Structure 1
Amino acid sequence: MSNPDNPNTPLDPKNLTPSGKKQRIDDLAATAGARRVGGGSAAGTALLTVDDAGRIEESSGVSLIASAWRRLRRNPVFLLGAGITVLFILIAIFAPLIAPHDPAAGLLLNKVRPQSNPVPGPEPGFPLGADTSGRDYLSRLIVGSRQTLIVGVFATLFGLTGGLALGVLAGAFGGWVDSLVMRFVDVMLSIPSLLLAVSIAALATRPSQWTVIIAIATVQVPIFARLLRGSMLAQRASDHVLAARALGVKRSAIVFRHMLPNSLGPVIVQATLVIAGAIIDAAALSFLGLGNPDDRKPEWGQMLGKAQNNIFDNPALAVWPALCIIIVALGFTLMGESLREALDPKSRR
């Protein structure tokens, strides 16, 4: 008897038994629809059988940070903002080494003529000229970046610390504690931020750089407090927090080990945006004369305020510090917005 699959091969009599037929059917089902890897039919190539259908290759998971970084490194907006920010930080750190002259030395004072030439113009060694005291303007811009960075960073850190304290109280306890903290935050938010900062800075008997930092930090506290409170309220209803409560874990451990670490993501992203606002607010306070009165330590807002006396004779004195403030604030804003979109599932593209 010949084999129906291959007439040249005789059929094994054992396959005619019931058990043989069942085994033959199972073998045909296992190899039915099989295809060769690579689409070839050469001998030695592996066959994919029915058992392989629907099988998914295992791959390692990707964390939220890694997934966000994959999008950020292809985002030109983020790269532009990060480039501006990194350049600004490097210039601020190495300002004394980069500045060609001492920003407090009146090297061109002998060329200052109050009536005919109050502001010396550009010349070799002084590409941006000098101010009304004969001090190199380029050196003052470079060194002023350090003061601007100090104010922006410390104001954001102090504001973040105060906001974390209020946000943790409101989000962890809830109830009357939440209501009391949020009413205090609402009162602070009801006052315009710049007006509140000016009022706080004006209370100081001696204006200084630290009065500006404290004033701006106070304005930023309710922003961080409200944001953290909302994130912690969302964490209170999460499964891992409910499981920890069911297991009898202490409230302090739940707050500081489970709720707070998982709520800091939006707060950190907001901090990058707040630095841009802090730099602008610091420049505004210094422009109004509420900052450091000692002009031997230049600051961009302070330079912008002093340039108003010669705004019509030499507007470049106001243009350069204004451009520096705008570019740096734009860099932090672009970077912060890109981070927010990359970490926010609703904003991902």
Structure 2
Amino acid sequence: MTSRAAKIDRLAQTAVRPPDPEGDSDDGSSAGVSLAASAWRRLRRNPVFLTGATVIGLFVLLALIAPLIAPHDPGLRLLEDQVSRARNEIPPGQPGHPMGGDQYGRDFFSRMLLGSQQTLMVALLATVIGLGGGLVLGTLAGAFGGWVDTLVMRIVDVMLSIPSLLLAVSIGALFAEQTQFTVILAVAIVQIPIFARLLRGTMLGVRESDHVLAARSLGVKSRSIVFRHILPNSLGPVIVQSTLVLAIAILDAAALSFLGLGAADDAIPEWGQMLGNAQDFFDSQPHLAFWPAGCIIVVALGFTLMGESMREALDPRQRR
């Protein structure tokens, strides 16, 4: 059985791929290259991908170093004596507080920096949980087929029939106490059917490929075929989709926080939460909403640009 598995592994690795028109060898002759290598050649010259990757790189770097460069504790009301609720005034920019304070006298610049870290954490955890749930359901449907496939896909269809934001709001409202974890869980559950349907469709296509049919003809066990050949070769589109889902997760988490379904304790800032807290000051202090909203839009756009570029580069039809 070991020799049979080795033969299938070699067959999968040496499967014939269409030649890449850009895949010239060093001596000038045309040579076939892998899909990943061809995609990378396209991506590294794609200004859209480079723009998105730059935005995401700066965002991740900022989130990592935010605790080190934030000048003040985001929960301390250092400028509370300059807040006038009667005249709807908040502390302006001043030495030590370049962006002034918020409606409670907390340093706005420090809250923006630390908010990037919380926003990244919410988006990543929600995407990872949604990806994990989608992998389980998609693998069950794509590997077993039959009534298992029918049952899983009907559940997925029901979840997809509900608008994502409405479903996230409904899930978030089920919890008696709103925390950061409830936001993550609500956003993650919304993403599960997206990953499940995509993985299931990809696995159905890979299941009919030559190396899988050869494995069956050699008597390789079904479990080995699924986990060694079908599933690994089906993860590419799912991984690319996870990049796009990160953008959706950021927007959904911000929407939940804006609607009051985010963490009740705002001592630890998050951009969506800051945007929700600023809605009573749109007319007099628009910058309280402008900066978190602008950051959310730019970061979501960065993930979208990078994800769409990766999806186009990995599309075999684009290789012609």
TM, length-normalised to structure 2: 0.89
Aligned residue among 252, 266, 286 for 1:295: 266
CA contact 2:51–2:305 (8 Å) conserved in 1: yes
Aligned to 2:60: 89
Aligned to 1:154: 125
1:234 aligned to 2:205? yes
Aligned residue among 290, 299, 311 for 2:282: 311
Report 1:28-67 matches (<5 A). Answer: 61-67=32-38
1:210 aligned to 2:184? no
Q: Which amino acid aligns with 2:244?
A: L
Report 1:238-257 matches (<5 A). Answer: 238-257=209-228
Aligned to 1:23: none
Write the distance in 2 (CA, Å) between the matches of 1:145 and 1:311.
22
1:260 aligned to 2:231? yes
Aligned to 1:7: none
Displacement of 1:342 in angstroms is: 0.6
Write the distance in 2 (CA, Å) between the matches of 1:99 and 1:337.
33
Write the distance in 2 (CA, Å) between the matches of 1:347 and 1:99.
45
Aligned to 2:22: none
Q: Which amino acid aligns with 1:95?
A: A
Gaps of 5+ in 2: 1-26
Write the distance in 2 (CA, Å) between the matches of 1:341 and 1:60.
22
SS in 1 for 2:278: helix
Structure 1's consecutive aligned runs of 4 or more residues displaced over 4 angstroms after TM superposition are 56-61
Write the distance in 2 (CA, Å) between the matches of 1:100 and 1:233.
53
Q: Could you tell which deviates more after superposition, 59-68 or 274-283?
A: 59-68
CA contact 2:52–2:302 (8 Å) conserved in 1: yes
Report 1:132-143 matches (<5 A). Answer: 132-143=103-114
Aligned to 2:156: 185
Structure possessing the higher relative contact order (Cα contacts under 8 Å, 6 or more residues apart): 2
Aligned to 2:300: 329
CA contact 2:80–2:104 (8 Å) conserved in 1: yes
Displacement of 1:214 in angstroms is: 0.7
1:168 aligned to 2:125? no
Output one character per residue of 1:206-252: Cα deviation in whole Å (capped at 9) or x when no partner: 11011011111110000000000000000111110011001111111
Displacement of 1:281 in angstroms is: 0.1
Displacement of 1:58 in angstroms is: 6.8
Aligned to 1:131: 102
1:73 aligned to 2:44? yes
Write the distance in 1 (CA, Å) between the matches of 2:28 and 2:181.
59
1:120 aligned to 2:91? yes
TM, length-normalised to structure 1: 0.82
Distance 1:138 1:57, change over 3 A: closer
CA contact 2:35–2:316 (8 Å) conserved in 1: no
Write the distance in 2 (CA, Å) between the matches of 1:323 and 1:57.
47
Output one character per residue of 1:169-207: Cα deviation in whole Å (capped at 9) or x when no partner: 111111111111111110111111111111111111111
Aligned residue among 73, 77, 98 for 1:106: 77
CA contact 1:111–1:117 (8 Å) conserved in 2: no
Q: Which amino acid aligns with 2:180?
A: Q
Q: Could you tell which deviates more after superposition, 277-286 or 174-183?
A: 174-183
CA contact 1:77–1:334 (8 Å) conserved in 2: yes
Identity among equivalent positions (%) equals 68
Q: CA RMSD in A?
A: 1.5
Displacement of 1:304 in angstroms is: 0.5
Write the distance in 1 (CA, Å) between the matches of 2:142 and 2:271.
39
CA contact 1:112–1:134 (8 Å) conserved in 2: yes
Gaps of 5+ in 1: 1-55
Q: Which amino acid aligns with 1:64?
A: L
Aligned to 2:23: none
Q: Which amino acid aligns with 1:134?
A: G
Write the distance in 2 (CA, Å) between the matches of 1:176 and 1:293.
43
Displacement of 1:125 in angstroms is: 2.2
SS in 2 for 1:94: helix
Write the distance in 1 (CA, Å) between the matches of 2:86 and 2:173.
35
SS in 1 for 2:133: helix
CA contact 1:341–1:348 (8 Å) conserved in 2: no
Give aligned pairs, total. 294
Displacement of 1:60 in angstroms is: 6.2
CA contact 1:121–1:130 (8 Å) conserved in 2: yes
Write the distance in 2 (CA, Å) between the matches of 1:57 and 1:147.
50
Q: Which amino acid aligns with 1:205?
A: A
Output one character per residue of 1:103-153: Cα deviation in whole Å (capped at 9) or x when no partner: 111121111111235311112222211101111111101100111111100
CA contact 2:244–2:304 (8 Å) conserved in 1: yes
Aligned residue among 303, 310, 313 for 1:339: 310
